[in-house]
């Protein structure tokens, strides 16, 4: 794992934003001050929703997870859960079991350096395939760590429930995402999480959620992460995930645009109408990207509403005269009966 960490340090997949890294590291140190010096945080640019702590103290957080977490308390629970696995030496205990099986050969040949090697380790379950008892122990430990720092304990259960809902949105998916593959969100576990949160909440006052600080630190990255989310091609899950974010930020023109994009790309019955409504809501707000007009034009053209399509394409071309897709949009504008 030390060799994998050395390779990860020079990986182009690393997110080097100092403010973001310092923010996540501070949460880790606040949760476990005595272990702060021995834990190193690495944020990896990958749309998968995952996090893990290696047995040598390396904490890896995927940007797909940061995209899905809605506030600091949710992220703190996830980090607290992973830190508990580390403190309880769960990975090392499992490694001892693996070394007595054929899995040892797969484990020793999995590492390829940096994030590729880490994904290979995770895929065969060496780092993050925990027993149900270990998961329960990590949940309890995560709750205790965030409760001791005044975080709202309900947020951990909310994150896991949202993750399960997102996975359930795609019944044709052959395997769960990396996070649920190693952290199964069963009904029993969700019930235990909720019960534990209620017990802690009853004893707490003025709990911290930390929504605004969290939005502030990830804000400049979110549009990029959402585009990377679409590159996964799991649009049914993307629709669920972005709608979850919209529940917390109903006025966000940015999220209105991206839910419109998710509907447009998924393209099942009713999605054209849903996308059009989302784009129009984004335009009515503040902060939507210029491409919202292109998206509106595309779905309006598909719906046969050429007047709306024509106006939208013309607006896009006027706001983005040097757009790389200008020729393509000009073609669509002509199809809508307009000219430039």
- Which residues are bridge partners to 52 per DSSP? 60
Give Cβ neighbours of residue 311 (< 8 Å, ≥ 6 apart): none
- DSSP codes joined into one string, 81-146: HHHHHHHTTHHHHHHHHHTTSTHHHHHHHH--SHHHHHHHHHHTTTTT---HHHHHHHHHHHHHHH
Give the 3-state secondary structure of residue 240: helix
Higher pLDDT, 128 or 328: 328
Q: How do residues 227-281 score in pLDDT, each as one tens digit?
A: 999 999 999 999 999 999 999 999 999 999 999 999 999 999 999 999 999 999 9
Domain regions of the chain by residue span: 2-201, 220-335
* pLDDT tens profile 251-266: 999 999 999 999 999 9
Does position 110 have pLDDT exceeding 50, yes or no?
yes
Mean pLDDT of the residues in the chain = 86
* pTM of the shown model: 0.86
Predicted confidence (pLDDT) per residue in 155-185, tens digit: 888 998 898 899 888 766 655 554 454 454 5
> CB of 47 within 8 A of CB of 229?
yes
Higher-scoring residue by pLDDT: 300, 196: 300
Average pLDDT over residues 127-146: 74
Please provide the CATH number assigned to the domain covering 220-335: 1.25.40.10
């Amino acid at each position: 794992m030390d060799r994998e960490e050395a390779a990860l340090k020079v990986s182009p997949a690393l997110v080097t934003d100092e403010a973001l890294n310092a923010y996540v590291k501070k949460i880790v140190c606040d949760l476990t001050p005595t272990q702060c010096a021995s834990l190193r945080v690495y944020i990896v640019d990958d749309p998968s929703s995952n996090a893990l702590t290696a047995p040598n103290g390396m904490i890896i957080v995927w940007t797909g997870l940061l995209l899905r977490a809605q506030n600091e308390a949710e992220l703190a629970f996830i980090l607290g859960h992973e830190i508990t696995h580390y403190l309880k030496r769960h990975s090392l205990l499992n490694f001892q079991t693996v070394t007595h099986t054929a899995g040892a050969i797969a484990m020793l040949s999995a590492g390829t350096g940096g994030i590729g090697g880490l994904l290979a380790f995770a895929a065969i379950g060496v780092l993050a395939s925990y027993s149900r008892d270990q998961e329960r122990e990590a949940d309890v430990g995560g709750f205790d760590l965030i409760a001791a720092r005044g975080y709202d304990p309900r947020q951990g259960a909310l994150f896991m429930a949202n993750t399960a809902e997102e996975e359930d949105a795609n019944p044709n998916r052959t395997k769960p995402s990396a996070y649920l593959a190693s952290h199964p969100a069963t009904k029993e576990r969700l019930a235990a999480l909720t019960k534990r949160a209620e017990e802690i909440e009853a004893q707490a006052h003025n709990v911290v959620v930390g929504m605004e600080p969290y939005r502030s630190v990830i804000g400049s990255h979110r549009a990029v992460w959402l585009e990377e989310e679409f590159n996964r091609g799991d649009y049914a899950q993307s629709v669920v995930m972005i709608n979850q974010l919209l529940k917390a930020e109903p006025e966000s023109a940015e999220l209105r645009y991206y839910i419109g994009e998710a509907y447009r790309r998924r393209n099942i019955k009713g999605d054209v109408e849903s996308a059009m409504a989302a784009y129009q809501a984004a335009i009515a707000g503040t902060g939507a990207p210029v491409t919202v007009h292109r998206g509106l034009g595309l779905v309006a053209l598909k719906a046969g509403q050429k007047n709306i399509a024509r106006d939208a394409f013309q607006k896009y071309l006027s706001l983005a005269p040097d757009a790389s897709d200008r020729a393509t949009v000009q073609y669509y504008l002509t199809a809508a009966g307009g000219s430039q």
